[in-house]
Amino acid sequence: MPNSPTFFQLDSCTSSLVIANPATGPVLTWFGDRLNAQISAEMLSCHDDTAHAFATLDARAPLTLFPQSATGYMGSAGLIGHRQNSGGASHLVCQQIIQSGNSITLTYKDNAQALTLVKIITLDQQSDVASIETTLTNDGPDDYNVAWLASATLPLATHLSQLISQHGRWGMENQSHQRNIGPGRIDISNQHGRTGHAHAPNLICASEDLSVDCGDCLFVHLGWSGNYSFKVERLQDGNGYIQAGVLLQPGEEVLGSGESLHCPPVNFTAGTGLNQCSQRFHRFARNNILPAWTRQPRPIHANSWEAMYFDLNDTDLNALVDAAAKIGAERFILDDGWFINRRSDNAGLGDWMVDESVFPNRLAPLAKHIRSHNMQFGLWFEPEMVNPDSKLYREHPDWVLQHNDIETPLARNQLVLDIANKTVADYLFKHIDQLVSEYQIDYIKWDMNRDLVLAGDGKNSRANKQPPAVYALMQRLIDAHPKLEIESCASGGARCDFGVLKHTGRVWTSDNIDPLARASIQQGFMRFFPPEIMGAHVGHLHAHLTGRSTNLHTRAIIALQGQFGFELDARVLDENDVATLHHYTSIYKAHRAWLANATYWQLPTSYEQLYANCLVSESMDEALVSIVVLDSLQATRPGCQRMRGLQPDKRYRISMLSNNLEQLIPFNKVMPEWCSNDCTSTGELLTRIGLSLPVMPPQSALLVHCVLEPS
């Protein structure tokens, strides 16, 4: 690249990204706090890691933005592939780097293998989140088989020695797991065909002193709803890296002449403490990913599933709608069981027609009754699935993802439709579009209740074709019905990533609505995703997934951390429960206008059994603080809870919003004064000293309101 600059710099609000361009290939030299001094190539030469040890290759192989084994690099290569009857070695050389605005485009060429690779690196000006997108094009006359193409490879500074991943299972998603980054490669691979319960597509690499406020950390997210792999390694020369990309099945991605493979984007930010990086991801999602309707106040949901399951009829549903309206619901969702032959999960999926043996007049009377309460009407679908016991499967068994001569294992008595098959997508669009039009459906709960196994077209694997086909079907419905809202549900939180969130604006966080389990599930969710898209419902006294009983106040306070709603049978509530729920729905309605853009703060606590967070308005004049005690504390009293996000030099009025004081009094000889009478303090004192808490028994919670005092 004669006469080209030797470095490129992108700046945002508080971050800088610098790419140096040595002869060995472009490297990410700096990404972090904004650089104040004017830098030069001469300055960067002081920081070029050129030291080279004995007992290695004569030529040093640096960690570039696109590492390759052909250079002698011993970590995971950015590309693994081959042409028929030829070797797999490729050597893509960077030919051009162009900076335009807040983006840098790098173009690589391998003339021998006839390949072109383009990387686009962007730094978002408002959020300080960077993105890398990668596209590989086959310029040759014959097919090129891709085994692995990394979306991005990012360097890890030596002091980033800790890896935090988010693991889990059905009903216990987004649990944090921390380990040392030591010798050997850590490979977190997902082969579920969807984002998955087991592994979220998020990683955090951090220094040992990491906390919510302190420590250097790198947040990385892959915006993809299918199979993927994250690789983290510290090589023997000290170089560390994190690499992310789509995990391809053998033979799944073969590029014909002139064809391209576009990788899903990797989003990342480097900051100080968990809160700063989470807040950046929230801003990025709000400004660049989520549908516009997520910026509006979110309606309160009432869902029929745990109230009625498959036992549906007009009379009982009307009574449930009446009861839900009484406690403040604004959108009623008819869940699974409304279509033909769907009396259990054994049959019916794929036959998207109203069961007139259950609804003699179809869904029009129910929709009318729902709207008589000024509520919106939502409907459950599982479009990607089909039961073998269905008219659709009997007529089109070839429409499912499968491999010839191998029986596909069932899950929840269902198989997966090949949405990338245009005929299948057209069939689904026709039936869903017809129902949305007929009943003016406001909202779809889009479920996906099984992993993909043997995901092929009969002969070839095609799991990686499913996510973009699903995105396209969703977008097709949204284009036909611009006011339609879609929720991403996959047995709870098994499909949550920036890929699907471009088309959906709400996530059913988990099928587990036990509030004590939800405390960690929701905290993990909010590491990368903003709280207002988090479906959070008040469940029954006895949680259906865990069998645990918790009081109504705790259930409601945990639900108020996200988009509030109900997953219970409101018909059986007594007058006290109705009054209590009405109290919390009133709180949600009073504050939701600013909650849609609130700043999330995970609060530091002195005990692992104590979870606390606060949502602060953009203007920092108001905050809602939720505190929950999961189990008995080591001390007799919890002490003071420090706040975050308040203006230090301003005075705030502190109020107890949760009306559960009577439940706490028996555990307190003396209750802090503010619990029964509002008090005033400064943002500085609330941050440094904290708010004194009452003695809180296990499974109790508080909801606190801070509002700026008039000047």
CATH (domain of 469): 3.20.20.70
Reading the block at residue 522, the tokens are 């929701």
Q: How far apart are the C-alpha atoms of 547 and 327, rounded to whole Å? A: 24
Reading the block at residue 664, the tokens are 């706490």
Query: Which band of pLDDT confidence, cut at 50, 70 and 90, is reported for residue 46?
Result: low
Q: Where are the alpha helices (DSSP H) in 607-657?
A: none
- Return the bridge partners of 521, or none: none
Is 511 in the active site? yes
Q: How far apart are the C-alpha atoms of 509 and 56, rounded to whole Å? A: 49
pLDDT tens digits along 179-207: 999 889 999 999 999 999 999 999 999 99
The answer to whether residues 619 and 694 belong to one domain is yes
Give the domain range for residue 545. 300-598
CATH number at residue 699: 2.60.40.1180
* Residue 297: strand, helix, or coil: coil
In a domain, 75, yes or no: yes
Q: Is residue 339 a contact partner of residue 352, using CB atoms and an 8 Å limit?
A: yes
In a domain, 404, yes or no: yes
In a domain, 295, yes or no: no
> Which residue pairs from 655-659 have beta carbons closer than 8 angstroms and sit at least 24 positions apart in sequence?
655/704, 655/705, 655/707, 656/702, 656/703, 656/704, 656/705, 657/587, 657/624, 657/703, 657/704, 657/705, 658/553, 658/557, 658/701, 658/702, 658/703, 658/704, 659/553, 659/580, 659/583
In a domain, 2, yes or no: no
The answer to whether residues 473 and 528 belong to one domain is yes
pLDDT tens digits along 687-705: 999 999 999 999 999 999 9
pLDDT of the residue at 355: 97
260 pLDDT more than 70: yes
The answer to whether residues 517 and 569 belong to one domain is yes
pLDDT of the residue at 55: 62
23 pLDDT more than 80: no
The answer to whether residues 545 and 687 belong to one domain is no
Q: Is residue 336 a contact partner of residue 306, using CB atoms and an 8 Å limit?
A: no
Q: How far apart are the C-alpha atoms of 206 and 216, rounded to whole Å? A: 6
The answer to whether residues 574 and 639 belong to one domain is no
The answer to whether residues 257 and 122 belong to one domain is yes
Q: How far apart are the C-alpha atoms of 357 and 164, rounded to whole Å? A: 51
The DSSP annotation for 446-515 comes to E---S---S-BEESSB-GGGHHHHHHHHHHHHHHHSTT-EEEE-BTBBSS-STTGGGT--EEE-BS---H
Give the Cα-Cα-Cα angle 416, 417, 422 (nearest 5 degrees): 160
- Return the bridge partners of 199, or none: 167
133 pLDDT more than 80: yes
Give the contacts of 683 (CB within 8 A, at least 6 positions apart). 620, 643, 646, 647, 648, 649, 650, 651, 652
Give the contacts of 136 (CB within 8 A, at least 6 positions apart). 79, 115, 116, 117, 146, 149, 255, 260, 261, 263
Could you tell me what percent of the chain has a pLDDT over 70? 96
Give the contacts of 359 (CB within 8 A, at least 6 positions apart). 312, 314, 338, 365, 366
- Return the bridge partners of 680, or none: 653
pLDDT of the residue at 569: 98
Q: How far apart are the C-alpha atoms of 564 and 299, rounded to whole Å? A: 8
> Choosing from 447, 451, 497, 514, which is the catalytic residue?
447
Q: Total domain count for the chain? A: 3
Whole-number average pLDDT of the chain: 94
More confident: 34 or 72? 34
CA atoms 272, 274, 276, 281: torsion sign? positive
pLDDT of the residue at 393: 98
Reading the block at residue 531, the tokens are 């709280």
The answer to whether residues 82 and 116 belong to one domain is yes
The answer to whether residues 136 and 247 belong to one domain is yes
The region, left, alpha or beta by phi > 0 then psi within -120 to 50, assigned to residue 261 is beta
Q: How far apart are the C-alpha atoms of 644 and 639, rounded to whole Å? A: 17
In a domain, 66, yes or no: yes
Query: Which band of pLDDT confidence, cut at 50, 70 and 90, is reported for residue 42?
Result: low
Q: How far apart are the C-alpha atoms of 687 and 604, rounded to whole Å? A: 11
The domain boundary, picked from 265, 289, 313, lies at 289
Query: Which band of pLDDT confidence, cut at 50, 70 and 90, is reported for residue 349?
Result: very high
Q: How far apart are the C-alpha atoms of 626 and 611, rounded to whole Å? A: 8
Q: How far apart are the C-alpha atoms of 180 and 183, rounded to whole Å? A: 9
Reading the block at residue 256, the tokens are 């014909």
Comparing 82-91, 297-306, 613-622, the range with the smallest average pLDDT is 82-91
If one counts every other C-beta atom within 10 angstroms of the C-beta of residue 353, the result is 15
In a domain, 1, yes or no: no
Q: How far apart are the C-alpha atoms of 635 and 632, rounded to whole Å? A: 8
- Return the bridge partners of 231, or none: 187, 243
What ranges make up the beta strands (E) of 49-91? Answer: 79-83
> Choosing from 124, 497, 511, 514, which is the catalytic residue?
511
Query: Which band of pLDDT confidence, cut at 50, 70 and 90, is reported for residue 668?
Result: very high
DSSP element (H, E) containing 232: strand 228-234
The answer to whether residues 578 and 666 belong to one domain is no
Reading the block at residue 561, the tokens are 């951390």
Give mean pLDDT, residues 519-548. Answer: 97
The domain boundary, picked from 289, 322, 342, lies at 289
The domain boundary, picked from 598, 629, 654, lies at 598
What is the pTM assigned to this prediction? 0.96
For the chain, the first-to-last Cα distance in angstroms comes to 61
* Residue 517: strand, helix, or coil: helix
pLDDT of the residue at 70: 74
Give mean pLDDT, residues 148-171. Answer: 96
The answer to whether residues 81 and 134 belong to one domain is yes
Is 110 in the active site? no
1 pLDDT more than 50: no
CATH number at residue 232: 2.70.98.60
Q: Is residue 417 a contact partner of residue 470, using CB atoms and an 8 Å limit?
A: no
Q: How far apart are the C-alpha atoms of 56 and 52, rounded to whole Å? A: 8
In a domain, 198, yes or no: yes
The answer to whether residues 160 and 263 belong to one domain is yes
The answer to whether residues 386 and 458 belong to one domain is yes
pLDDT of the residue at 57: 62
Tokens 């009574």 correspond to: 319
Q: Residue 86's Cα: distance from chain center in Å? A: 41
Give mean pLDDT, residues 60-88. Answer: 83
Q: How far apart are the C-alpha atoms of 492 and 507, rounded to whole Å? A: 8
Reading the block at residue 36, the tokens are 């104040």
Tell me the C-alpha to C-alpha distance, in Å, between residue 663 and each of 692, 701, 702.
Answer: 18, 10, 11
- Among the listed residues 495, 484, 472, 481, the one whose alpha carbon sits nearest the alpha carbon of residue 425: 472
In a domain, 450, yes or no: yes
Q: How far apart are the C-alpha atoms of 97 and 1, rounded to whole Å? A: 8
pLDDT of the residue at 2: 44
pLDDT tens digits along 208-233: 999 999 999 999 999 999 999 999 99
Output DSSP code: residue 693.
Answer: P
